[in-house]
Structures are given as C-alpha cells and as structure tokens.
Amino acid sequence: MVEILPFSPSDYDEVMALWQATEGLTLREADSRDAVTRYLARNPRLSFIARDGGRVIGAVLGGTDGRRGYLQHLAVAPTHRRQGLGRSLAGRVLEGLGTLGIAKCHLFVRREQAEAREFWERSGWTVRDDVTLMSHSDFAATNP
C-alpha cells in the first residue's frame, strides 16, 4: 500500500537515490544533505515522500518565502506512475501552503520537458508567458 508521509531528514539517502534515477531532474549543491536538511527545517510540513512497502517511490519539496509557495523536485518512480501519485504529492504541498495562508505556488519546468509540462497543465497549473525567469548566482563571495 502506498503511503504519503512527511519528508524527514532521515529519508535523504533514499530520496536522493530516487532523484538520481529520475530523468529530467537536475541535482546541484543546493541538493546536498546539509542543504536539504536546512530546507526541511525552514519549511516544516511542506515536503513529502511516498513509500510502498517501505520503499521510497515518490518525493516532492515544498517551501515558501512567506509570501508565495515553491514546489520542486517532484519525482515518482517509473513503476508507480500514472496512478495519481504525482498529483497527490503536489496536492499535499498546496494543501500545506494553504494552511499557512499562501494562495499561490510557482514551479520551474525546463522547456524541453514536454511530458512534465503536460502533467502540470493537467493537474491545474498554468503556463506563464508573461514573465521571464531571471537569476543571479555566484554573488555570495562578493556580498558576504
């Protein structure tokens, strides 16, 4: 039986193994054990895993800056896809944000990930073509 549970720091190794095996998911320094542990502590009750018979077969990170919600790294193992699990995991993040009074959530999908985009659109998410994502990185050393 598949169970959805809170993502605890002790799940990290199993979730990382799932993420590493998932196509289209890019892992960086921000996904290190320390970084994910900090993220979970900073955003309690917003990230989830799914287990089937003890094995981690799904995961998602949810967080907020206190104003908007952000959803990242949703992954469902190929053996468990198309059973509504991806939608349920994403739904748990939105539910958690809702209890905090956060009414809008954003996520980023690479343009080439057509299937992921279809999944999100069919799950009620809207593609934004009125905004351009801009990023600034490598500034920590010059702005201590």
Residues that bind ligand COA (CB under 6 A): 22-25, 74-76, 81-87, 109, 113, 115-116, 118-119, 122-123
The residue with its CB nearest to ligand COA is 86
Nearer to ligand COA, 65 or 115 (CB): 115
Alpha carbon dihedral 13, 42, 74, 117, in 10-degree steps, equals -150
Nearer to ligand COA, 22 or 140 (CB): 22
In the complex, what is the shortest distance from the CB of residue 43 to ligand COA, in angstroms, rounded to a whole number? 18
Strands 105-106 and 69-76: parallel
Nearer to ligand COA, 71 or 97 (CB): 71
Burial class from Cβ neighbours inside 10 Å (0-12, 13-18, 19+) for residue 43 reads: buried
Report the nearest approach of ligand COA to the CB of residue 121 (Å): 8
- Residue 103 Cβ, how far from ligand COA at the closest point, in Å? 21
28 or 143: CB nearest ligand COA: 28
The count of C-alpha atoms lying within 13 angstroms of the C-alpha of 6, restricted to the half-sphere facing its C-beta, is 10
Show the DSSP H helices in 3-62 as ranges: 12-20, 33-42
CB of 139 to ligand COA, least distance (A): 26
Evaluate the CA torsion angle 105, 111, 117, 121 in order and state its sign.
positive
